[in-house]
Amino acid sequence: MAVLTARAVELAKPDPGKRREVPDAALPGLYLVVQPAGGKSWAVRYRAAGKPRKLTLGPYPRLGLADAREAARTALHAVAEGRDPAGEKQAARVEVAAVQTMRFGAVAADYIERYAKPRNRSWRETESFLTRTLDATDKWQEKDVRAIGRKDVRDALDAVVARGASIHANRLFAALRRFFAWTVERGILDASPMAGLKPPSPEISRDRVLTDAELVAVWKAAGEVGYPFGPVVQLLILTGQRRSEVVEAEWREFDLDGATWTIPRERAKNDRAHVVPLAPQAVKILRCIPCVGTRSRLLFTTTGETAFSGVSKATDRLQGLSAKHLPEGIEVEPWRLHDLRRTFASGCARLGVAVHVVEKALNHVSGTHSGIVGVYQRHSYGDERRCAMELWAAHLDGLVGGAAKVVKLERRVS
């Protein structure tokens, strides 16, 4: 056994067949460990409770000879006091791992994977609520989820309301309530910090329907905006489908020759596939959409890999552009993309389309197709829905061209 020197450590050669442990005569118990591939590290060997133990000190050259000896002396001093430094190190690692798994960010990520993704097609929105800066939950990411109390939640909700986003605060409230209920169910928390809390803001059901003049203005502004958001808006107007269903649409869902769009059940809100008949105007728009990237599956994308995500900013810009297409003296009233869906339903009703056909066109289960009727009424009204789509598209053409008249639906299908 020789006293190790800095030079000797640097020149220590690996044995291709096995790991080498080179002892240091200057400090019994300290070893230079040389791996077959050439990597080097330091270790201390000792006995605790009558059993041989090994404590890894760190890699070389990050830990030089002098520092390795100092760390070894500290460890051996602990052994002399009756302690087990290797066991203490392992226990500390377990404790750190336990704390890491209880971080809000880690628990939220587990919730998204285990619960939100399999059950909710809008799981990305939930993920955003649990991570985003604007909702203050970004400050919770490294915090122990068990340390988040009612006041923390209340402060986060109040901050969202204070910036004028009261409805958004309600959505955050709902997302947090589901998340914390899940943590209780999984045994992570004994009680939810949401208990006893109420939504931060009252909500009034929206009934916003765009006027004909507004609809024309939005249509023309969408044409100016261009791809990808312009066609999104025009398809929302023509089909009445949900925003996410259009924005996240994939080419494989469309049969342009057959003029149909099949939204798969995993993307449809009510967990069932939905066939949308396409009016000729919608097919024309779809045929003009560029294919971004050589193998992109998405219709509306700027990267070729992910769906278009700048919806909020694009909507604000669209509302600004639509103002110049309104008749003089008419101001733009605030509206949301979802209002286009309501406008579609209202417009079809004006044209004489039956309520049950409109609901089928929207893939909306309520009223005429809920309860016992929904169980036994399986007719898809495919012909009636196609007739309604074409009638609405023709009416829209008339509005945009300035020669629209409300023509009642003729009964084409017996």
- 117 falls within a domain: yes
Q: What is the DSSP string of 136-176?
A: TGGGGTTSBGGG--HHHHHHHHHHHHHTT-HHHHHHHHHHH
Answer yes or no: do 110 and 234 share one domain. no
- 28 falls within a domain: yes
Of 258, 126, 104, 269, residue with least CA distance to 188: 104
pLDDT attached to residue 85: 87
Contacts of 2 (CB under 8 A, 6+ apart): 8, 25
CATH for 379 = 1.10.443.10
Of 205, 206, 223, 226, residue with least CA distance to 340: 206
Answer yes or no: do 363 and 275 share one domain. yes
- 204 falls within a domain: no
Taking the C-alpha atoms of residue 48 and residue 84, their distance in angstroms, rounded to an integer, is: 6
CATH for 85 = 3.30.160.390
Would the CA dihedral through 296, 223, 236, 384 be positive or negative? Answer: negative
Last residue of a domain, one of 63, 97, 131: 97
Taking the C-alpha atoms of residue 130 and residue 128, their distance in angstroms, rounded to an integer, is: 5
- 205 falls within a domain: no
Which structural domain, as residue segments, surrounds residue 178? Answer: 104-185
Answer yes or no: do 126 and 275 share one domain. no
> Which 8-state DSSP code applies to residue 224?
H
Determine contact, residues 127/116, Cβ cutoff 8 Å.
yes
Determine contact, residues 352/408, Cβ cutoff 8 Å.
yes
Q: What is the pLDDT along the chain (414 residues), one digit of tens a residue?
A: 788 899 999 999 998 888 999 999 989 999 999 999 899 999 999 998 889 999 999 899 989 999 999 999 999 999 998 999 888 888 767 655 555 568 999 999 999 998 888 877 678 888 888 987 566 788 899 899 999 999 999 999 998 888 877 888 888 999 999 999 999 988 888 899 998 899 988 866 678 899 999 999 999 999 999 999 999 999 999 999 999 999 999 999 999 999 999 999 888 877 788 999 999 999 999 999 988 766 688 999 988 888 888 888 898 899 889 988 988 877 767 888 999 999 999 999 999 999 999 999 999 865 444 443 443 344 678 899 999 999 999 999 999 997 655 444 544 433
Answer yes or no: do 233 and 258 share one domain. yes
Of 412, 396, 375, 369, residue with least CA distance to 240: 396
- 1 falls within a domain: no
Answer yes or no: do 218 and 329 share one domain. yes
Of 245, 232, 358, 236, residue with least CA distance to 300: 232
Answer yes or no: do 148 and 217 share one domain. no
- 198 falls within a domain: no
Answer yes or no: do 31 and 108 share one domain. no
- 170 falls within a domain: yes
- 202 falls within a domain: no
> Which 8-state DSSP code applies to residue 54?
E
pLDDT attached to residue 308: 87
Last residue of a domain, one of 58, 77, 97: 97
**Helices and strands per DSSP (H, E), number in the chain:** 17, 7
Taking the C-alpha atoms of residue 356 and residue 378, their distance in angstroms, rounded to an integer, is: 12
Answer yes or no: do 244 and 325 share one domain. yes
Taking the C-alpha atoms of residue 108 and residue 80, their distance in angstroms, rounded to an integer, is: 45
Last residue of a domain, one of 133, 166, 185: 185
Answer yes or no: do 335 and 391 share one domain. yes
pLDDT attached to residue 126: 86
How many CB atoms are closer than 10 A to CB 84? Answer: 19
Domains held by the chain: number = 3
pLDDT attached to residue 369: 45
Answer yes or no: do 230 and 257 share one domain. yes
Answer yes or no: do 323 and 371 share one domain. yes
pTM of the model: 0.57
Of 35, 74, 31, 37, residue with least CA distance to 56: 31
Would the CA dihedral through 325, 327, 331, 337 be positive or negative? Answer: negative
Determine contact, residues 35/24, Cβ cutoff 8 Å.
no
Helix intervals (H) in 47-192: 65-80, 85-101, 104-111, 117-119, 123-129, 150-162, 166-185
Answer yes or no: do 136 and 162 share one domain. yes
